[in-house]
Amino acid sequence: MIAVGALLHVKQLSRSPFEIAIALFVPVVQATLAVYLFRAGGEPDRLLEAAVGAGLMGVWSTVLFGSGGAIQNQRWQGTLEMIMLAPRSPALVLLPVTLATGITGTYAMLATLAWGRLLYGIPLDFAHPVAFPVAVAGCIAGLGMFGLLLASGFVLLRHANALANMLEYPIWLVSGMLVPVTALPGWTGPVAAVLPTTWGARAVHEAASGGPVWPALAVCLAISLACLAAGWALMTYVERRARVTATLALA
């Protein structure tokens, strides 16, 4: 059910010119910016890191706005009641939606790598060529699970849009997607340590540039599973509360 649901939602998201254009174009601009910045900083040997980092940023943006607005989008499409009426747990029905946002985020990663290779001649010499796709897939799965927590948490907040708009850059920054975590103030360390994005980004970067991939990926998935459990419980609570107060269809 999760696989079929995720495939359905990936197809649906992939038919939106807006989603596709944003998922492809904005990360490419970010990657271009990063490439010029790395070159200007005398780090031409780290261009692959720039392309991968910009791709990760695109993945997070897709998950943040896609998963954060997952329930609201179903509400706008008039499909929320049907989802809640299904004989399966609402969390199980919504998990494919959030996983799909992560999977469509891979468009950003593919776009930045292809852009870097074709336009700037960045060699795609991954330090761990086998581990790299596994790390990306694990990171995507982890972010999809984290997305369920975002989806159920945001629906409780009246001004979730404002929160989503605020969360894009801080997570890019604190998770070390482009700026190394070591360059940030020390107090950001504990914040970064509990975010699955930090460990997912570390696993992908280490697969690309060298380093122990599996420990970081394992921590990413462990935190993501905890987020999934929390999101599941929250979603169940939200669904019950919405049914009791008859506010399911209300914005």
Nearest to another protein of 38, 132 (CB atom): 38
CB of 218 to another protein, least distance (A): 27
Nearest to another protein of 178, 204 (CB atom): 178
Nearest to another protein of 169, 237 (CB atom): 169
CB of 90 to another protein, least distance (A): 27
CB of 245 to another protein, least distance (A): 21
Catalog residues that contact another protein under the rule CB under 8 A: 17-18, 21-22, 25-26, 29-30, 32-33, 36-43, 158-159, 161-163, 165-166, 168-170, 172-173, 178-180, 183-184
Nearest to another protein of 25, 237 (CB atom): 25
CB of 228 to another protein, least distance (A): 26
Nearest to another protein of 166, 194 (CB atom): 166
CB of 118 to another protein, least distance (A): 16
CB of 62 to another protein, least distance (A): 13
Please report the DSSP string for the chain in residue order. -HHHHHHHHHHHHHT-HHHHHHHHHHHHHHHHHHHHHHHHTT-GGGHHHHHHHHHHHHHHHHHHHHHHTHHHHHHHHT-HHHHHHSSS-HHHHHHHHHHHHHHHHHHHHHHHHHHHHHHH------SSTTHHHHHHHHHHHHHHHHHHHHHHHHHH-TTHHHHHHHHHHHHHHHTTSSS-GGGS-TTHHHHHHT-HHHHHHHHHHHHHHSS-HHHHHHHHHHHHHHHHHHHHHHHHHHHHHHHHHT-TT--
Please give the DSSP secondary-structure letter assigned to residue 184: S
Nearest to another protein of 105, 144 (CB atom): 105
